[in-house]
Structure 1
């Protein structure tokens, strides 16, 4: 049983590459189902954001699992496996576990400590959970990582400095135009990132915010919260004529704003147009950046902006790394005992069966015993069995966990307690429904 993560992120691949390997949300369910049907993949979760595409999986064999996932990615994105080999990373077992904790806590993000990734990991996990693409290992690991992330964001100062990608986009606008309070800003999209962008613009005194979205109702809902104006996507050209800044973050596969569209309105404009595309795949045709009087920035250009307010977060991040180290050790200890727990259950079950059989024989031998007498006999005979088993079972657990050859130790204990012909009990993991309810008790 091995845990691996296979993927690429903003550290290893440019936005041009990341957008090629971004899972379309509409096709994500089918992608998970296709992946889980592949040989050697026991559990899987796909985490896809503008800054990363990662597949977490439980596999029988590392090499077989890695090759299977690369083959899946190559087929899904219609590319050669050799190309993927050069741009993806593969992390195994302890490193993979630690990576998930760091990702969920926001330590592996472009903006250290950002909280949006927590919700994205949670959503990705629940989606796989509902598709039954996870089992006891990922049900525990992802729940543990989500719980840790909530704790560190509540009990450390990692999120005190507002340096999200949307914040960085607004800061870039301020850097370019000095004062943006009197500028017209067009927000393309009405999702979470657009909402954060609108908040930062509003807090910086911007009074004229135009929200453009495919669904007019969503645009209106966001615009009303910040005294803005809602427009449909068919009105984008008219909005661009008077815009000073465009910040785009719509989840779509194609370019929303095309070069021909800008060429048609550029002569009507009297001022430069600054465009910041923070979507992956990008919403704005990159060719627009080469036009006169237009200045186009994408998500990779924000990296230098977000470094300014990260010193305090870096200090808090070092504290969180200590938490993560402990959580990794805790999960590994649970993982190491996973194989021995069914064996311990079988020993207990066999011992209780013997105890019940002895009480039954006593009852036959001494028919005059009252129900009270039998109750006392049952109680103290169970107590004897539990006391005899207590230390041997604890030692059994430690010996299996600490021994490099766990399979050999399990075989020894199986023979020692004559359990060769007994079937293992099912592990008592939380049901899917209960686990999902638990995760949804506290909103991210």
Structure 2
């Protein structure tokens, strides 16, 4: 079994390709179920966002798995493979595991360290688990990815340093005011930057958001998204008299607000402070406004300095997270390498215990007068003989896990101890209902009581 990732993202494909190779929410479930039917795909998870489409698969043959996955994408979206194949990346083994961990932690995102992708990874895994398209391997791997990402964000605070200009404006305002529940925010401009700023202030509970724009359609559309009040540009002075925070981001060729207009408003405010941020280029607010008493004016260069400093902090945090990723990747691979051992070790122990049980029955038939204490002593010591006899072979098998000839050794041991019958019993046994629920929460579980735990 091998782990495979086939996908494309914002780094490898332009938006016109990404929007064609993207699973809509309502069709992802059907796609997962369809891929599940493919012969060489043992498990699969589909992760599709605005910036990436990725198929994670457990396959029995890498070449066949890659070809099947690429062909599946082509057939599902009805696009010739040659039209997008050059934009695809393929990761296998360690690289595939490392990639998933990096994606979940936000290290492969357009905004370094963002947290939205974590929820999307969790939802993708849950969807596959719901229709049993994922099994023991991916249930464990994706659970580990989510746990790692949460720990990485918690221990490094990578996402607490804003790296967008709009959010940097909000953080700067928060440093001045602390909270916004009793604050009125005036946003001049209804473009993308104005929308993001309105979104941030609304989410942080601002008392009132006012949107000023020349275009009635644009300002009404933006106001509808955030239940904001709208005004024309001519009404700005009136709104300015009660605003606590002003964010301006228009495409106007000249100043929207001059020093004289703001000075006239400040006389009416009676010393009440006004916090202003100009994120427009060219600037909307006359730079000399900052000379006025009780007015605090910042421009995009001030914000860019914050963004650059925060990006450096995120990069430092990302390096720490990459070390965490390597530790978890190695732990998962150690567990993954033991998967072939489990059925053999289980069969070996069950055969040995069967022999011990038959031996005890024979002893009891030949010595029927054994009392309870004598029976327990014999039971204990016959089991001890089995455990001591099996200890070294099992430990040797675990040490060989992942080595080039480990599979040959397993086959030889299976034949030497005639374990085929016991392994067949295991394959035909009904599934444990407990295993159908949540995936394992840790890699540190015992190998059927056969030696030390797997993982760190």
Query: TM-score, normalising length from structure 1?
Result: 0.70
1:259 aligned partner: none
How many pairs are equivalent?
Answer: 353
Matched, 1:326 2:327: yes
Cα separation, 2, equivalents of 1:246 and 1:63? 52
CA contact under 8 A between 1:185 and 1:246: conserved in structure 2?
Answer: no
Shift of 1:163: 3.4
Matched, 1:10 2:23: no
The structure with the largest alpha-carbon Rg is: 2
Matched, 1:159 2:159: yes
1:362 aligned partner: 363
Cα separation, 1, equivalents of 2:137 and 2:409? 22
Residue 183 of structure 1: which of 181, 184, 187 is its match? Answer: 187
Query: TM-score, normalising length from structure 2?
Result: 0.68
Provide closer, same or farther for how the CA distance between residues 343 and 241 of structure 1 changes in structure 2, counting only shifts above 3 A. Answer: closer
Cα separation, 1, equivalents of 2:340 and 2:15? 42
2:99 aligned partner: 99
CA displacement, residues 286-327 of structure 1 (integer Å, 9 cap, x when unaligned): xxxxxxxxxxxxxxxxxx997663110111111111111111
Cα separation, 2, equivalents of 1:273 and 1:160? 28
CA contact under 8 A between 2:140 and 2:439: conserved in structure 1?
Answer: no
1:127 aligned partner: 127
Provide closer, same or farther for how the CA distance between residues 272 and 126 of structure 1 changes in structure 2, counting only shifts above 3 A. Answer: closer
Shift of 1:341: 1.2
CA displacement, residues 315-361 of structure 1 (integer Å, 9 cap, x when unaligned): 11111111111111111111111001110111111111111111111
Shift of 1:372: 2.7
Structure 1: state its 5+ residue gaps: 172-179, 189-193, 211-236, 250-269, 275-303, 439-444
**2:310 aligned counterpart, secondary structure:** coil
Provide closer, same or farther for how the CA distance between residues 414 and 154 of structure 1 changes in structure 2, counting only shifts above 3 A. Answer: same
1:81 aligned partner: 81
CA displacement, residues 343-397 of structure 1 (integer Å, 9 cap, x when unaligned): 0111111111111111111101111111232122112221221122112211122
CA displacement, residues 58-107 of structure 1 (integer Å, 9 cap, x when unaligned): 11111111111111111121211111211111111111011001101111
**1:182 aligned counterpart, secondary structure:** strand
Cα separation, 1, equivalents of 2:434 and 2:146? 16
**1:384 aligned counterpart, secondary structure:** helix
Shift of 1:398: 1.2
Provide closer, same or farther for how the CA distance between residues 241 and 196 of structure 1 changes in structure 2, counting only shifts above 3 A. Answer: closer
Cα separation, 1, equivalents of 2:378 and 2:64? 55
Structure 2: state its 5+ residue gaps: 172-183, 227-235, 237-247, 252-304, 443-456
**1:240 aligned counterpart, secondary structure:** helix
1:415 aligned partner: 415
Cα separation, 2, equivalents of 1:61 and 1:135? 17
Provide closer, same or farther for how the CA distance between residues 305 and 395 of structure 1 changes in structure 2, counting only shifts above 3 A. Answer: same
Matched, 1:394 2:395: yes
Shift of 1:54: 0.7
